[in-house]
């Protein structure tokens, strides 16, 4: 998923950086430097950094002390929140047009965080600098790519504070992304032995076992992962997303598109949206994508066997990688597989 679906839908979002003088002042206030960018930091007694974390880009991210002023991609911030680690600011889909919390905000109280940018390619550098960040956290879908950092201002952003990225694409599976997010949360002060966290992990593991049982009990159910836009229907491959790869390892049979673009999905015109037959459709639930009520206006959507059978399940396309939230995702998919009838 190298691009946000919202960018494909609207192409909106401008770089919200200020003038050069304001940025220089902000950099000075935050003590930004190349050492912050590359994670070298100042060393404490004995030559060791007071806080360090090896992220999924293979970088040793360090700071003089455990970061407190954390700014994170909304979904990653939501995961840290579930572990009891708060953030000061967020970037990424946080509030919908009516002011409510976006689905990617999870259980966070979005009124208590500073929103640096609410859409793809939007990141207010001066506002970020004013928070005096100790650490920036996001995900990475591709090598050396920080999710939701605008390319045009990325270098300025990375000079302001160390940055850590958790892998959620490529060869990574959901269980690994969960473990790595938990590792990061622990390094930031989370107690992974807390009963809530222990119970959530057990729930995720139990849900995974039930999904495996469901796929065995109801074999041959074909699942299509789709996302609707005004002019196109996107069919995702299970090969490069952590959640889908994990579900596949548990026996879920996915439709695999044969003309994948950029490693993530095939784009179909609505005239050709019925190219692939499936028994269940996992439909992108993100803000800005068309949902079932809106899709009724598309004749080819209405003719899909899974749609006729009412076998449509929301897909959390960008999971919040806490055990609590991912357990819910697996449970919903399990129900869909258990209840599905072969219609393709």
Q: Is 217 helix (H, G, I), strand (E, B) or coil?
A: helix
pLDDT in tens, 285-300: 999 899 999 999 999 9
What pTM does this model have? 0.85
Confidence band for 1, pLDDT divided at 50, 70 and 90:
low
Q: How far apart are CA 127 and CA 240, in angstroms?
A: 34
pLDDT number for residue 21: 29
Percentage of the chain beyond pLDDT 70 is 86
Q: Is 22 helix (H, G, I), strand (E, B) or coil?
A: helix
Average pLDDT of the chain to the nearest whole number: 88
The answer to whether the beta carbons of residues 148 and 73 sit under 8 Å apart is yes
Q: Which residues have CB under 8 Å from 178's CB, separation 6+?
A: 204, 321, 322, 323, 326
The answer to whether the beta carbons of residues 306 and 344 sit under 8 Å apart is yes
For the cut 50, the answer to whether the pLDDT of residue 14 exceeds it is no
The answer to whether the beta carbons of residues 305 and 276 sit under 8 Å apart is no
How many angstroms separate the Cα of 188 from the Cα of each of 63, 69, 112, 309? Answer: 11, 11, 19, 47
Residue 119 is encoded by which pair of tokens?
């859409």
Phi–psi pair at 312, nearest 5 degrees: -120, 130
pLDDT number for residue 15: 24
Q: Is 74 helix (H, G, I), strand (E, B) or coil?
A: helix
């Amino acid at each position: 998923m190298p691009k946000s679906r919202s960018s494909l839908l609207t192409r909106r979002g401008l770089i919200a950086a200020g003038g050069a003088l304001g940025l220089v002042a902000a950099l000075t206030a935050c003590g930004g430097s190349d050492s912050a960018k590359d994670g070298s930091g100042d060393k404490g007694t004995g030559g060791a950094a007071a806080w360090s974390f090896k992220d999924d880009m293979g970088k040793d991210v360090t700071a003089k002390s455990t970061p407190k002023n954390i700014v994170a991609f909304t979904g990653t911030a939501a995961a840290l929140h579930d572990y009891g680690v708060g953030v000061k600011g967020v970037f990424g889909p946080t509030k919908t047009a009516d002011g409510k919390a976006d689905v990617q905000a999870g259980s966070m109280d979005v009124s208590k965080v500073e929103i640096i940018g609410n859409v793809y390619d939007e990141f207010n550098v001066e506002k970020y600098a004013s928070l005096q960040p100790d650490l920036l956290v996001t995900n990475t879908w591709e090598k050396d790519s920080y999710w939701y950092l605008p390319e045009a201002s990325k270098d300025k952003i990375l000079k302001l504070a160390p940055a850590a990225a958790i892998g959620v694409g490529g060869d990574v599976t959901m269980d690994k992304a969960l473990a790595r997010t938990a590792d990061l949360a622990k390094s930031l002060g989370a107690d992974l032995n807390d009963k809530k966290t222990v119970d959530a992990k057990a729930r995720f593991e139990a849900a995974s076992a039930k999904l495996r049982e469901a796929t065995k009990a109801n074999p041959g159910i074909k699942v299509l992962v789709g996302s609707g836009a005004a002019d196109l229907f996107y069919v995702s491959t299970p090969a490069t997303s952590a959640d889908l790869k994990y579900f596949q390892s548990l026996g879920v049979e996915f439709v695999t598109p044969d003309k994948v673009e950029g490693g993530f999905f095939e784009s179909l015109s609505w005239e050709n949206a019925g190219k692939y037959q499936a028994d269940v459709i996992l439909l992108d639930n993100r803000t800005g994508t068309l949902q079932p009520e809106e899709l009724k206006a598309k004749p080819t959507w209405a003719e899909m066997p899974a749609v006729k059978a009412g076998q449509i399940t929301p897909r959390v396309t960008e999971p919040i990688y806490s055990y609590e939230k991912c357990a819910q995702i697996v449970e919903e998919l399990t129900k869909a597989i258990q209840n599905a009838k072969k219609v393709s």
